Structure formats: C-alpha cells, structure tokens
Amino acid sequence: MPSAQKRLIFLIGYMASGKTTLGRALAASTGMRFVDLDEFIEVEAGKSINDIFAEDGESGFRRLESLILRKLTATDDDNIIVACGGGTPCFGDNMEVMNQAGMTVWLTAPVEVIIRRLEAERASRPLVARLSDGDELKRYVMDNLEQRTPHYSRSKARFDSSKLECEAEIDESVKIFINRFL
C-alpha cells in the first residue's frame, strides 16, 4: 500500500526490460500515477515516437525527451512511477536529473529475454525495427547494452525484471518490488 510520503520512481533499463509492464502493474497495486515517458512525449509533441525519429532524427528526439523529462520532474505531483525509454539515462544529464528528483531503479533481464521480447514488438521500436532476427538483432543489443550499462549503473537500485511473462509472474514481481522499494 502507498504511504503518505510523496515519491517519484524512475524505472530505467534497456528496451524490453519490462519498464512499462512493471510500471503499470505497480501503479495499479499502489494507487500511484503511472507515466510512460514515451507516451507522455507523444502527447506533448502531438506525434508518435516513430514520426519524431523520422522527422527529427534520434538527436531531435533526445532533446525533446530531456525537455519533457524536466517538465515531468518539476510537477507538484511527485507520487509517480515513470517508465523511461531505454536511452533516457544515456543522454545529457538525464540520469543526474532523475537521481536528484527521486528513486532510480534499473530493471535488468538476461539478453535472451530482452531479444525474445524485442522480436515480439520490434515494429514499435524505431532503433531495432529494421534489424533481422538472430545474429543482427543480438549483435545490436549486445553492443548497445554495453554502451548504455555505465549510465544504467548510476541508478540508485537494481531489480530483476526477467519474470514478467504472465500475470502470476507480474504479480510476484510487483510484490517483491513493493517490499523492496515502497
């Protein structure tokens, strides 16, 4: 159950590590507000992430992401769980902003789990949409994860998010997360 204390929790981690799945489930269990940062960006920008990437490139998206992250951290309502994009902690001073504003939790899962999840939802992910299954996708994930790990490791905590494949696993992960962090 949520306490009276206000809190801002940032779920960070690689693409398909379960940030949105866990975040939505945590919000439902605690009554906290859930914000998917990518969805929030789409609303603020008035266009999809794919369109932002197509029109402004990744650098344009990252600038917008940083601005909207700051807007979110400046809100008076800080009883929020935020599922960040996989690259959010890796650009500018976003990690510092999140660490100062609240609790950052790095969701980790084995590479095989991440790849399986990415294969199932690739079309909605502009950075991997054009990669083929198998070695090309695995090589990209391994290289990209290696580059991002130093940023993720600046989080205040880590959480194993490998067990989010069915309702029972999600429920158990939510219980463990609540006991550890809330």
Q: Taking the domains of the chain in order of start, what are their residue ranges?
A: 8-167
C-alpha span between 119 and 114 (Å, rounded): 9
What secondary structure letter does DSSP report for 87?
A: T
Q: What is the chain's Cα-based Rg?
A: 16
Asked if 133 and 119 count as a contact pair (C-beta separation under 8 A), the reply is yes
CA-to-CA distance for 106 and 160, rounded, in angstroms?
Answer: 8
The reported pLDDT for the residue numbered 120 is: 85
Residues 6+ apart with CB under 8 A from 31: 1, 2
pTM for this predicted structure: 0.92
CATH number assigned to the domain covering 8-167 = 3.40.50.300
Q: Please provide residue 83's backbone torsions phi and psi, each rounded to the nearest 5 degrees.
A: -90, 110
User: What's the distance, CA 173 to chain centroid?
Assistant: 16
Tokens of 66: 């940083």
Q: How confident is the model at residue 1 (pLDDT cuts 50, 70, 90)?
A: very low
The Cα 111–Cα 12 span in angstroms is 16
Mean pLDDT value across residues 102-118: 95
Amino acid present at 111: V
Is the predicted pLDDT of residue 6 greater than 90, yes or no? Answer: no
Q: Which residue has the tokens 């197509």?
A: 54
Tell me the pLDDT tens digit for each residue of 39-49. Answer: 999 999 999 98
pLDDT digits (tens, 9 = 90+) for 72-85: 998 888 799 999 99
80-83 and 8-12 as β-strands: parallel, antiparallel, unpaired? parallel
Structure tokens at 26: 């945590």
CA distances from 139 to 21, 84, 135 (A): 25, 23, 6
